[in-house]
Each structure stands twice: as C-alpha cells, then as structure tokens.
Homo-oligomer: A and B are copies of this chain.
Amino acid sequence: MKKNVPHRLYLTEDQLPRQWYNLRADMKEQPAPIINPSTMKPAVLEDLYPVFCKELAKQEMDSETRYFDIPEEVMDIYKVYRPSPLCRAYHLEKALDTPAKIYYKFEGNNTSGSHKLNSAVAQAYYAKQQGLKGLTTETGAGQWGTALSEACSYFGLDLEVYMVKVSFTQKPFRKNIIETFGGSVFASPSDRTEAGRKILAVDPENSGSLGCAISEAVERAVTTEGYRYVLGSVLNQVVLHQSVIGLEAKKAMELLDEYPDIVIGCAGGGSNLGGLIAPFMQDKIKGKSDPRIVAVEPASCPSFTRGVYKYDFCDTGMITPMAKMYTLGCTFKPSANHAGGLRYHGMSPILSKLYHDGYMEAVAVEQTRVFDAAVQFAKLETILPAPESAHAIRQAIDEALKCKESGEEKTILFGLTGTGYFDMTAYASYNAGNMSDDIPTDEELKPSMDAIPKIPGIQE
C-alpha cells in the first residue's frame, strides 16, 4: 500500500546525507581526461594547483573514491538551509488533469536563491583550510556569485566576482546582495584583466559570456597572491558536492515508497542536473533500475542537442585546460535576450560522457514556452521559479501531459533549482509580450564551432 504523501517532505537533521557521492566511481567508462594546453597532454594534479586549492583539485581528479565525507564545518552550514523539501505538485497535477505523479526537489529556499550554495560552502571551506586570502569567480545569472559571497563571508575570505555584463545590467540588485555579503562585483568583460581588455578592444559593447567571465576570474586568481579560482558548475568537484540534492531526494522518495520513472533537470554547466541524478544514475548503471533521465537546455544555448562532443577550452580567452564535452565552441555567446543562466557554451564532462554513452536524453526548449510554464507553476504551486528552473518545469509539464494522453501513471521527479526574485526584468518582459526565443541558426553557430581547437593526434 502506498503511503500518504505530504505536499512537502523534509528529512530530519539526522537523516541528512553525511557524504557526497562521486558518480565517476561507478561509471563504466570514465570521462576523457582534461588536457593541459601548454603540454597538450592530460593534466596532472600539480597542473591544477595554481588555479584551484589543493583539496578541490584532488576531488576534481579523483574518479575512484566513491564517497567523500562532508566536513563538519560544511555540515554546520548545510544544516542552516537544508534539508530542502521534496514536494509533491498536487495543484499542478490537478490543473493538468494528469495521472502522473509530479515531485520536485526545491533548492531555492536560501538567500542565494538556488542550489549553488551547496558547492559554494564546500569550496570556500577548502580554500579557508588551505589558508588562502581570497577567491575569484564568474557568475552568469548571479546565483553562483550570491552563493559564493555568502560562503566567503561565513569563512572570512575576500571575493571578486566577474558577472556577465548582460546579467549585471538586467539584475542590478544581484550586485547589491553580493556586496552586502562583502564581495566585489565587476561587469565582464572588464578592464581589470588582459582577457577582458582584449575583448573590449575589438567590441566595446560586448555583452559578455560565461566563458569570458571565466577567463577574467582565472587570470585574476593566478596573478594575485593568496587567491584561487572557483567555479559554480561544469567541474567534477561541483557535481560531487551537488550530489546532496539527489541523495536527499532519493532518501525522501524511499520514505514514501516512491521511485521516479523520469528524472528531469535543467542543464547549463550541469551541476544541478549532475547532482540530482547522481544516485539514480548509480542505480541505472548498476542495472538496479532504469529511469529515463532528461536534461533540459535552452534552445538559445543548445550544447547537448546541437553541440559536438569534442575537446574545447572551458573559457573564451582559452587560458583554461581543455575538457572533452558537448560544446558550441568557447567563443559562442547566447543572445542577450536570453534570460537567466544556462548560458554556458559547454557541459559537464561527466554528463557529456553519460549522454554520449546513451545513459541520458536531452531536449532544448524555447524561452517563451519556458516562461509559460514558469507562470503556470507559480500560480498553482506559489513558488516563482528562476528562469533556469523553469526549463525543468516545462519538460515536467510536457511529460505529464503525455501521460494524460497515454493514461500512464508515471512518477516524475524534477529539480526546481531556484527562485526568480532577481529575474523580474525577464518576467516583466514576458508579461508585456516582449519575449523572444532567439534560437541560433546553423550559420550563427558555425563560427564558434569552427573555432573549436584542433589537437594533433587527438582531434582534427
């Protein structure tokens, strides 16, 4: 007999996961190693030390340790905003008149407004442990920058945030909130770095990209004494930290005697998706279950669905190592009309490999349909979602409507990564009917795709 499912299920503090789960330890084939562009050979641990703090570099390279203990100091902060609730979308189900059961794991109930705090706390902790003075990072929509400013404030670290200029302009209050926590924010491209100045010299009105902001943050980190660089997505270490989302979600579903038939997450760099699906993917790889796992990306930045699986730089300035991933080319820049995040040219190497090997699906959705879903959801479930998160809502609704047609009583789980309180400019544009989809044509994608580097003996 199925249990009575509450609208919100919170684990108790002693049910919280005490370890992060490293999905790589169970993958049948590993993601390709990252390449050091100065040697054109697979990077070794020491190559990463000038950029990342040591413990994080180790986590980045470790594909064998299955579980990492979450340090007590990190747990002390997790306990302040976790567990996040597992929610049953009864009102949405009823409005859709679907036999499907829709669950969502809601990560937005903290001041950063998203799941990003899960990794920010971990990264700031390890930086502090190493005795560093400060950190640099980039931020797109601003959720990562906010999360990191909270974490750095807690651990007493300085912080420089390079914020994609189009978001900096669309979301002025993000700057204020990061500054409230003591961080410094700069619109990227900025004149504070070689990478930024180079771009501004060619195109003074450049609206920025995550790839460019990464170049600037990395440059500042390696040229400033006592600083390191941290990243809010894409990296293996970030997927590791975000596994708390999936571990909590799976535990909560177990308490309800539930298991998802479909797991859906929005995908920009892949951190939320990688974290949410981790324990379900573990089951799938081990043959214990076979859920469909669906990545949802913006049609205006479609790295999975229209990119190629190749080695590419992680940044626009081509100063980072190269990773094998689905990429649109590191010089790709999504339309400035694209709201919110999910604007990265590449994709987590872990997820890229899993997608390439057929363990997951990907769909691209158009911005106006995403906001349709966001507003429908807000009115029924009382949460105003971040545009990023609304990509997953769109797909969950579409899957639930398919169930209505087929009569199948599927169990859907999606990740609701955050809230949209700092995205009101985009909502206002949607309300006014001014939103466009801005899907790049093949011709528009060509220049950045053609610029993907050739690597003798590895990719031509």
Residues of A within 8 A of B (CB): 6-8, 10, 12-14, 76-77, 79-81, 83, 87, 90-91, 109-111, 113, 117, 150, 153-154, 172-173, 176-177, 179-182, 375, 378-384, 419, 421-422, 424-425, 427-428, 430-431
On chain B, the residues within 8 Å of A176 by CB distance are 424-425, 427-428, 431
Q: Is the CB of A382 within 8 A of B150?
A: yes
Known contacts A150-B379, A180-B427, then 18 further A-B pairs from the complex at CB < 8 Å, ordered by chain A residue: A10-B10, A80-B91, A80-B381, A80-B382, A111-B378, A111-B382, A111-B419, A154-B382, A173-B421, A173-B428, A176-B428, A176-B431, A179-B428, A180-B375, A180-B378, A181-B378, A182-B379, A421-B421
CB distance from A429 to the nearest CB of B (A): 9
- Top 7 A-B residue pairs of the complex, sorted by shortest distance between their CB atoms: A173-B424, A6-B13, A421-B421, A7-B79, A176-B424, A10-B10, A176-B428
**Copies of the polypeptide in the assembly:** 2
On chain B, the residues within 8 Å of A375 by CB distance are 180
Given contacts A111-B384, A176-B424, A424-B176, contact A7 B80 (CB under 8 A): yes
Interface centre among A6, A7, A425 (most CB of B within 10 A): A7
Q: Is the CB of B179 within 8 A of A431?
A: yes
Q: Is the CB of A384 within 8 A of B177?
A: yes
CB distance from A258 to the nearest CB of B (A): 16
Residue of B nearest to A85 (CB): B10
A/B interface sample: 13 pairs, CB < 8 A: A6-B12, A8-B13, A8-B79, A10-B10, A80-B91, A110-B383, A111-B383, A153-B379, A173-B421, A176-B424, A179-B428, A180-B375, A180-B424
Given contacts A177-B384, A180-B431, A384-B111, contact A154 B13 (CB under 8 A): no
On chain B, the residues within 8 Å of A6 by CB distance are 12-14, 79
On chain B, the residues within 8 Å of A383 by CB distance are 110-111
Query: CA A425 – CA B173 in complex, angstroms?
Result: 8
CB distance from A378 to the nearest CB of B (A): 7
Interface centre among A91, A182, A422, A424 (most CB of B within 10 A): A424
Query: CA A231 – CA B257 in complex, angstroms?
Result: 43
Query: CA A386 – CA B160 in complex, angstroms?
Result: 26
On chain B, the residues within 8 Å of A379 by CB distance are 150, 153-154, 181-182
On chain B, the residues within 8 Å of A83 by CB distance are 8
CB distance from A434 to the nearest CB of B (A): 13
On chain B, the residues within 8 Å of A177 by CB distance are 384, 421, 424, 427
Q: Is the CB of B80 within 8 A of A8?
A: yes
Given contacts A173-B424, A176-B427, contact A382 B81 (CB under 8 A): yes
Residue of B nearest to A154 (CB): B379
CB distance from A267 to the nearest CB of B (A): 24
Query: CA A12 – CA B7 in complex, angstroms?
Result: 10
Q: Is the CB of A382 within 8 A of B110?
A: yes
Query: CA A113 – CA B427 in complex, angstroms?
Result: 17
CB distance from A158 to the nearest CB of B (A): 14
Query: CA A215 – CA B163 in complex, angstroms?
Result: 44
CB distance from A22 to the nearest CB of B (A): 26
CB distance from A75 to the nearest CB of B (A): 10
Query: CA A10 – CA B82 in complex, angstroms?
Result: 11
On chain B, the residues within 8 Å of A378 by CB distance are 111, 150, 180-181
On chain B, the residues within 8 Å of A79 by CB distance are 6-8
On chain B, the residues within 8 Å of A150 by CB distance are 378-379, 382
CB distance from A390 to the nearest CB of B (A): 12
Query: CA A211 – CA B179 in complex, angstroms?
Result: 34
Query: CA A117 – CA B382 in complex, angstroms?
Result: 10
Query: CA A430 – CA B431 in complex, angstroms?
Result: 32
On chain B, the residues within 8 Å of A110 by CB distance are 382-383
Query: CA A7 – CA B110 in complex, angstroms?
Result: 14
On chain B, the residues within 8 Å of A77 by CB distance are 382
On chain B, the residues within 8 Å of A117 by CB distance are 382
Partner of A154, one of B8, B12, B380, B422: B380
Query: CA A382 – CA B120 in complex, angstroms?
Result: 12
Query: CA A410 – CA B16 in complex, angstroms?
Result: 29
Residue of B nearest to A432 (CB): B179
Q: Is the CB of A384 within 8 A of B180?
A: yes
CB distance from A406 to the nearest CB of B (A): 28
Query: CA A275 – CA B456 in complex, angstroms?
Result: 70
